[in-house]
Amino acid sequence: MRAYGHSSRIRKEDLGSNNSTFEHVGAIVPTTAMMSATKSSYPDPQWWKEAVVYQIYPASFQSHPGSTSGWGSIKGITLRLDYLKSLGIDVVWSSPICQSPQADMGYDISDYKQIDPHYGTLNDVDELLGELNKRGMKLMMDLVVNHTSNQHPWFLESCGSRQSPKRDWYIWQKPRSFRSDGTPEPPNNWAQILGEANSAWNYDEKSKEFYLALFTPEQPDLNWENADVRAAIWDVMHFWMKRGAAGFRMDVINLISKVPGYPDAEETLGPGHKYHPGLKYFVNGPRLHEYLREIHREVLSKYDTITVGEMPGVSDETEILMTVGSNSGELRMIFIFDLVDIDKPNVRMALKPWDVKEMKGIITRWQRVMIENNGWNSVFIENHDNPRSVSRYTDDSDEWRFKGAKLLALMQITLGGTLFIYQGEEIGIRNAPSTWPIEEFKDIETINYWKKCNDLYADDEDQMALGRKIIDMKARDHARTPMQWAPVENAGFCDPGVKPWMRVMDDFKTINVERQVKGNDTDELSVWQFWQTALLYRKEHADVFVYGDFQELSTQDPKTYVYHRESQNGERWLVVLNFSRNEVEWIMPEDVEIDFWLCGNYTKGHVEKPTRHVVSLQAWEGILGRCK
């Protein structure tokens, strides 16, 4: 989901640098050095390590024939399974499809065991599961249990009165104080995550108390301190696992434990802001690992699962290894957000400069950390909460967008971890153009941000221009435009004559699945064909690209990213990537010699390049070679 920066956690600040362990909720947790000393399980084969996961944003993926809603559907997903199978996909992860008022596009669930009418029915899910099974594929559900919808029966009962049996299923607090006119003040100064101009606390007139809703008022946070809440969540998880799901992507799962007392946040947004990010007090809170181990013990340990936790705001190695270490008893892997947060200062809807060396440093760091400490990575650069990768990390102009998209594909298929592809990434969909009027943007975060800009800067032309620039570069809407299937009306997303819920990108007649699957008569592969071929290479050489060792060879180079991967039996491959619009030369180390260059993003098949000494690269060029 989500939109916040790194937290400054409070529980370890007083620990000395020489401590070999620290106490965390009654457990003795090994440090990185201790983990390194144990026998590595990193290369141990597991199906969920080698799986290629494809994320579907159901509202925008595919509607089914005869539907007039303008929304994607579960039947639409089922219609496209052969397409996904041909691409090389093993696991389909769908963003939430459960019943929801859609205040935040399904991340506000009002019934965990029913399907939202926009998408279909439970019978449609059963059909989808059956068709996936026929193709040897699996389904990963999106589990949203930090919060519910304010229309969920649990919350409706909770806010009924202070004496309600479910009152403490949510987080209620009395006002901190009252203004002179009697208006109650919220319990602390935490800002709402999807609209930092607003308080994260919402006043209930009936019971005269505030409830915590970190994201929007329509998404009240569950009180995980309550054992009955946790038992209800285990019941939901069992429901979906028994129905045939293979596991869960867990939405903002590192927010489920809050620091008791709800202290005020530091005033990091500066003067003029009444509310500030309270990350320090709810990101990886004091009981998080206790709860994650309980999830594993009560549910996950009973099935052969794939699990990935969405855990923005944390970059501490020891903290992350406590969750994804091979013996952690918590989750298989998490989404580490350092790379997709590379251009974010303290809040998501803002900008900061970055360069290729910073990008390389992030990727190399987490490759090495997991290899050295028996952890496991997720590999991703796109999802439903981030702009398009070709626009963010390369050049999305008509001249270079295809080269950039294939460069990013080559990088991802050669990195260790479980690979996640987001819908449309495989054809190089880019951000919406800056010429779109603001009314085309539908996301609650964008709407709240633009309202804030108008409230604060309506008379400041430069600030308003900056606000629009941030939307053009960072809005979540960019990832949510309808899938571009064919050069026909509505891009084949929904029937002709039906208005899609969100505007289709203007370039759908030239950028679409139909055209890219067929390819063309030029000497290079389309983005889709490149992905399909590259995924075959990854699977054929999983011992290298999934499980192998990783060493960067270009740490000081400002434009290229070069690394080699090596399997346990000594098979070595070299990856050379030029992240610039300029032609560059990379000087090979004396001990590196290439047997052959297998592929690149400029040509079909093998690449003709020198095998020793100096390699020249064109703009945004990437090549993959087998070492002697």
- The catalytic residue positions are 251, 310
Beta strands at 622-627 and 594-600: parallel, antiparallel or unpaired? antiparallel
DSSP three-state, residue 596: strand
What are the DSSP calls for 515-576, one per residue?
Answer: HHHH--SSSS--HHHHHHHHHHHHHHTHHHHTTSEEEES-TT-SSEEEEEEE-TT--EEEEE
> Which secondary structure element, helix H or strand E, spans residue 86, and what is its range?
helix 81-87
Q: Encoding tokens for residue 82?
A: 């052969």
Quote the tokens at residue 457.
């800067």
Integer CA distances (angstroms), 67 to 76, 290, 500, 594, in order: 10, 45, 11, 54
> Can you tell me the distance from the alpha carbon of 420 to that of 412, in angstroms, rounded to the nearest whole number?
9
Question: Rounded to the nearest 5 degrees, what angle is found at the Cα of 547, between the Cα atoms of 571 and 320?
Answer: 145
The Cα–Cα gap between 291 and 288 comes to: 5
Look at phi and psi of residue 490 and say left if phi exceeds 0, alpha if psi is from -120 to 50, else beta. Answer: left
Which H/E stretch holds residue 379?
strand 378-379
At 210 the three-state DSSP class reads strand
> Rounded to whole angstroms, how far apart are CA atoms 28 and 20?
10
- Asked if residues 472 and 478 have their Cβ atoms less than 8 Å apart, the reply is no
